[in-house]
Each structure stands twice: as structure tokens, then as C-alpha cells.
Amino acid sequence: MNMIVAYDIADPKRLQRIAKIMKDYGVRVQKSIFEVEITEMSFREMRRRAELNLEPSVDGVKFFPLCERCSDTLVTLGLCAVFPDEGTVLVV
């Protein structure tokens, strides 16, 4: 599966750890955004590693699947901004 991973990490040390984890699975397309092509098993591993390295009350990681049938399967970890449903356009 193809996916976009975006994160906002409050602490610089945790930020470096999360970035290193994401580099293990994908390609950085912006400072805190990675594009990954990943199997379901590798996704579970990547998600587990991210969960173990973030502080959920102040950090956030979002996984955006890039397929029509998966569009409703957004997974979020920790504190993540949520877009309003009406009239919102997201360009990735």
C-alpha cells in the first residue's frame, strides 16, 4: 500500500527518532512528511515503532492511505489537528 505519513513532534530528540523511523520505510517529501510504499505487516511495525517513540499528549503522527477504497481508514496517533468536514480541501 502507498501512504503519506505526516507528523508534528514537540521535542527535538523525539523528532529525530521519528524521522529516523520514517526514513526506514519511505522517502521524505517535506520536513515532516514521508511517502511510503509498505506492506500491511511493515505498516504495523512502523506504527508500533512510532507509538513507542512519541508522547501522545503533545506529539502527533498521521497515516494517510493513498487509494480510493482506503480513504476512510485514516489512522492517527496522539495529538493531531483535525480538518473540518465541510468545504475542506487537502492537497498532498
Mean predicted confidence (pLDDT) in 8-30: 95
What does the angle CA 27 – CA 7 – CA 38 come to, to the nearest 5 degrees? Answer: 40
What does the angle CA 13 – CA 16 – CA 18 come to, to the nearest 5 degrees? Answer: 110
Instruction: List pLDDT tens digits, range 29-82.
Output: 889 999 898 999 999 999 999 999 999 999 999 998 887 666 566 676 776 655
| Predicted pLDDT of residue 72 | 64
DSSP letters spanning 58-85 = T-EEEEEE-SGGGTT--EEEES-----S
Residue 92: pLDDT band (50, 70, 90) is low
Report the predicted TM-score, pTM, of the whole model to 2 decimal places: 0.74
Count Cβ atoms within 10 A of the Cβ of residue 66 and give its class: 0-12 exposed, 13-18 middle, 19 or more buried. middle
| Predicted pLDDT of residue 83 | 42
Domains and CATH numbers, the chain: 2-78 (3.30.70.240)
